[in-house]
Structure 1
């Protein structure tokens, strides 16, 4: 009778046996390294901003330095100084080109790294923020992120670490993710050996959100990934962190995996040394004035000016010029630069003739105005000089084509006429010209005609050649004096 009642009760009054669904919270050993990775990747975004600014500032500094060197060149009078400054300007132009190439490549790389790592950080922040919502379930009795102790929530730990705090402003800096979290081959703390679920006593069945299983309308999901695959859930009570601690490439980018792409980009940003982007103008000039850099440039300038020199002669002369102007290892550059900064220049003020020290001209457009002033001045000076040379050459040419008699005939007064031994003044003549050839002048004219005939016979006009050299010398002298 008793047995019959027991069987009856089992069949009609007792509910079928139910297996409690797994609802384990994520272990601190799993979520904490993911949280720390979000913090570390902030360095990449901040350094990316610093790289962009550093390249732009360095490019601006080189352009300003070159403009000042061009101003020094436009006012230089010494030959060695002129050649050395021209070479330095060319070297700085090449530096500008290098920085422009960096602006095109490294700034793009930095921007991509900032975008990709920020996307990964956003996935981490969102995943942990959603899991934190489990803390509010059933008046605080449920939670989805476990702590090291039983029964508590992870709110305080997450708040302390700050990985769910949105980063809305970049803070440009030079630091990189530390080696504890990012090694040369991967994100060191994100390893498959780390179990996802908490095994601490008292923390089971606390996270309804992670009610894992394959029963429709009962379980949340069967398996899946969180935070772009950093957290992998493979079953009701199984899961681990992604395999991102090793074998990640810093040389070949995997664009199909956000975590791997973020590692590649972060590694690329980490490899960029900000110290190479110098902004001190004197330091820039000194670095560009090194003999190794300038020697081939000066030698090429000398080849253009003195093509008759041999290569070894040009190289030796180039070294001498560089040593003379900049000194061995650019030791004279400090003094030269300080003198240049103190130089009183014109062209920048509303009154173009008002002077100010070059050190007070700070922007590139202002420096270009000063440079334009001196280049215009040099151009005008060269044009005026050329006009004088042309006038002297024309006068010289006319003088060469006149006969001795014509020269005498052009003299109108007796005193001027009598000063020329080839001329004599005939005051008895009623008509001009009264200044005519003297006997000595007639002899000189005859000799000149005979000389011309001799020149024609020999097919060489040596008199004309000599006359040209004689008259050209004062023109060249005038050029260097002016």
Structure 2
């Protein structure tokens, strides 16, 4: 019996080990993010013209990343201001709290991505600056490829007794030479229309040394010698070795041309990432940090770093519907603090204790983005606000308040009107008279949030429009009873007066 237990345990152990090894292998495989279907654009680069075009297009992609992040952030902050303004202008406590929570959520998002987005922009800017520098070299190289050396006017001279002959050279433009300029993807390749930055694993960047030693090949030919005896002389660094067997005929000539072949492209594809895996980092990280690192290495490393962060979030607006916000720590805490009905919740992050609060959040903010928009965005987009600024007063759309002075003028005016109504209500309301009458209840019933207005005695609460109910006070500052009880009190006063009259009688 004991042996059988050991056998079963061994099998279980082996199975567990096998499962663990499978998990480790799967995890290792999953963590390897090597790019196998790489962008093949760099393979199409065969000259400095195509290299210049491809790098210029890559710069556009990096610039677009910066623009996208800034646009996202501007859009996020614009909506955040709208919700903050809506909270300040809200006619009810609940609406004020709900919009305040939305504004706070977007403020949190803006703060959370700011540092990362700024770093991404700086990284992209560095790469763009180095691309600009290299593209400038490539453009100048293209111009030089369409030139050849020539004598500078009357450029031949000899010192009277020095024994030296001087050839003063310059460059002149030629009709052919170099490569054809590329200004569209159609001219670059038949199979490419853009750079897939997510799949870019290699890039071609011609080193400065290659630009000077392989591209510019000029030839000066001295002809007209009467005789040159001996065998041909191969390329040699010694000029006298070529002239040794030649006899001057006094009719020598000098001609200038581009060497054949015209030029040799020196760019080769170099990996951007280690093992083509962005998770392993940039291949040139160490080399770029070395003193005296060449410009091509610095540029390739900068491009690598920029590619890694190109999709960084600049502040995309997160989902704000009830399902998305339910259980959100920031939102639950704000609404717990702001709404009296939930202030007894001590742990707003606790799903059990804060169940009612979370249910309220889920139902009030809408089941999906469409419902959320109908409840919270659409009413704001059409809402007109009174802007009282200095000696002028005008109604403007809430979303059209573009300056701080306009927003402050609108919120202060709204607060003043609200304060004025509260004072007038406390003065005009008879002691003990209930605010919410049957007439008010019927008047407010079934109204949308847009139609639910405070001036009509209505308040939007709990996802529906209700009659506003408050308890008034008497002239002595103490809470009075209802209207019916007040009538009883009046009858008591009359009875007491009648009794006193009888006694006096």
- Aligned to 1:347, the other structure's residue is in SS state strand
Q: What's 1:184 paired with?
A: 201
**Rounded Cα–Cα distance in structure 1 between residues aligned with 2:217 and 2:378:** 74
Counterpart check, 1:334 vs 2:373: yes
Judge conservation of contact 2:206–2:268 (CA < 8 Å) in 1: no
User: Which digits, 9 at most, give the CA deviation of each residue in 1:231-258, with x for residues without a partner?
Assistant: xxxxxxx998366523656633725332
Gaps of 5+ in 1: 1-28, 145-150, 164-174, 219-237, 400-414, 429-482
- Please report how far the alpha carbon of residue 341 of structure 1 lies from its aligned counterpart in structure 2 after TM superposition: 0.9
Cα RMSD (Å) of the superposition?
A: 5.5
- Aligned to 1:356, the other structure's residue is in SS state strand
Q: What's 2:440 paired with?
A: none
Gaps of 5+ in 2: 1-42, 154-168, 185-192, 222-234, 242-262, 275-280, 429-469, 481-490
Q: What's 2:177 paired with?
A: 154
Q: What's 1:246 paired with?
A: 271
User: Which digits, 9 at most, give the CA deviation of each residue in 1:159-206, with x for residues without a partner?
Assistant: x3369xxxxxxxxxxx964679x931443999x99xx869xxxx9974
Q: What's 1:262 paired with?
A: 299
**Rounded Cα–Cα distance in structure 1 between residues aligned with 2:315 and 2:133:** 31
Map residues 326-475 of structure 1 onto 2, 5 A cutoff.
326-336=365-375, 337-347=377-387, 353-362=393-402, 366-367=406-407, 369-374=409-414, 395=476
Judge conservation of contact 2:401–2:407 (CA < 8 Å) in 1: yes
- Aligned to 1:346, the other structure's residue is in SS state strand
Judge conservation of contact 1:55–1:102 (CA < 8 Å) in 2: no
Judge conservation of contact 2:101–2:335 (CA < 8 Å) in 1: no
Judge conservation of contact 2:109–2:315 (CA < 8 Å) in 1: no
**Rounded Cα–Cα distance in structure 2 between residues aligned with 1:127 and 1:217:** 32
Shift in alpha-carbon separation, 1:134–1:343, aligned structure 2, 3 A: same
**Rounded Cα–Cα distance in structure 1 between residues aligned with 2:133 and 2:54:** 14
Q: What's 1:301 paired with?
A: 334
Shift in alpha-carbon separation, 1:91–1:344, aligned structure 2, 3 A: same
Q: What's 1:44 paired with?
A: 58
- Please report how far the alpha carbon of residue 318 of structure 1 lies from its aligned counterpart in structure 2 after TM superposition: 3.5
- Please report how far the alpha carbon of residue 293 of structure 1 lies from its aligned counterpart in structure 2 after TM superposition: 4.2
- Please report how far the alpha carbon of residue 90 of structure 1 lies from its aligned counterpart in structure 2 after TM superposition: 0.8
Shift in alpha-carbon separation, 1:334–1:118, aligned structure 2, 3 A: same
- Please report how far the alpha carbon of residue 59 of structure 1 lies from its aligned counterpart in structure 2 after TM superposition: 2.4
User: Which digits, 9 at most, give the CA deviation of each residue in 1:30-54, with x for residues without a partner?
Assistant: 9943332221121233344433433
Q: What's 2:119 paired with?
A: 105
Alignment partner of 1:59 out of 63, 73, 82: 73
Shift in alpha-carbon separation, 1:135–1:321, aligned structure 2, 3 A: farther
**Rounded Cα–Cα distance in structure 2 between residues aligned with 1:327 and 1:104:** 34
Judge conservation of contact 1:143–1:207 (CA < 8 Å) in 2: no
Matched length? 330
- Please report how far the alpha carbon of residue 265 of structure 1 lies from its aligned counterpart in structure 2 after TM superposition: 2.8
- Aligned to 1:312, the other structure's residue is in SS state coil
Shift in alpha-carbon separation, 1:187–1:102, aligned structure 2, 3 A: same
Shift in alpha-carbon separation, 1:55–1:394, aligned structure 2, 3 A: farther
Counterpart check, 1:69 vs 2:107: no
Higher strand share: 2
Judge conservation of contact 1:66–1:89 (CA < 8 Å) in 2: yes
Counterpart check, 1:117 vs 2:131: yes
